[in-house]
Amino acid sequence: MRRSNFFFPFITFLTLITFVSINSTVASQRKIHLVNTGWHVGIIVPIDSVLKRNLPEALNFLGKKYLEIGWGDKTFYQTSNPSFQMAFDALLKSTSSVIHLYGFNPSIHTTFKNAEIIELHIEEYNYIKLLYFIHKSLTRNADGSARLEGPGLYGKESSSFYAANGKFHLFNTCNTWVGNAIQAAGMEINSYSIITSDSLMDAVRNSVEIK
């Protein structure tokens, strides 16, 4: 009887520890989205305290729920109606790059209703690595602030362009940059083979578990 009195509380304790461990693991995961708008894939993350600590530029989008992030050639990206010649020039003789940040409130599927969207779940520590990759992709002033290049594609109240590091070319496109960001987050894809938005989305589907 003494062994039974000890045994059942012990099993209950182990069960409780297991339950807490499983829930801690689930809670440590972060949800991000990749959105394919045709020629370009953006990364969407929630605007919360974690993002604001690791990417201070998020503070410029107070009152917004989500932030869509993209990188690309400065001239091509900042033009609302880019031409084929501009795309050709970007691939062969780009001179500078920018990062575009777009803050929005409606649901992701409502905001990008005509886009292909992939939802991904990554561990907390890998999410921080993703944010660090984005952070160091921004060209920064002496005080550490990102160098603003002007209003974004959706107006200055919701979007902005910032100067970015890295040179855009045929083998380092906007989608290659997203592939590198995903690699930084611990996902096993070969970013060197990624040029187009479709090649990126295919690589992600083939390499990670889609939630």
At 62-111, the pLDDT tens digits run 999 999 999 998 887 877 666 555 565 555 566 789 999 999 999 999 99
108, 113, 115, 119: CA torsion to nearest 10: 30
Give the Cβ contact number of residue 34 at 10 Å. 22
The position carrying tokens 């000890």 is 6
Write down the H helix ranges in the chain: 2-27, 49-54, 74-77, 84-93, 108-111, 124-137, 174-184, 197-207
Give CA–CA dist 31/44, Å, rounded: 9
CB of 33 within 8 A of CB of 192?
Answer: no
CB of 190 within 8 A of CB of 167?
Answer: no
Percent of the chain past pLDDT 70, that is, above it, reads 78
CA distances 57 to 29, 66, 131, Å, are: 23, 13, 11
What SS3 state is found at 101? strand
Strand 116-123 and strand 148-151: the pairing is unpaired
pTM: predicted TM-score of the whole model, two decimal places? 0.82
Task: Dump pLDDT digits (tens) for 138-154.
Answer: 999 999 999 999 999 99
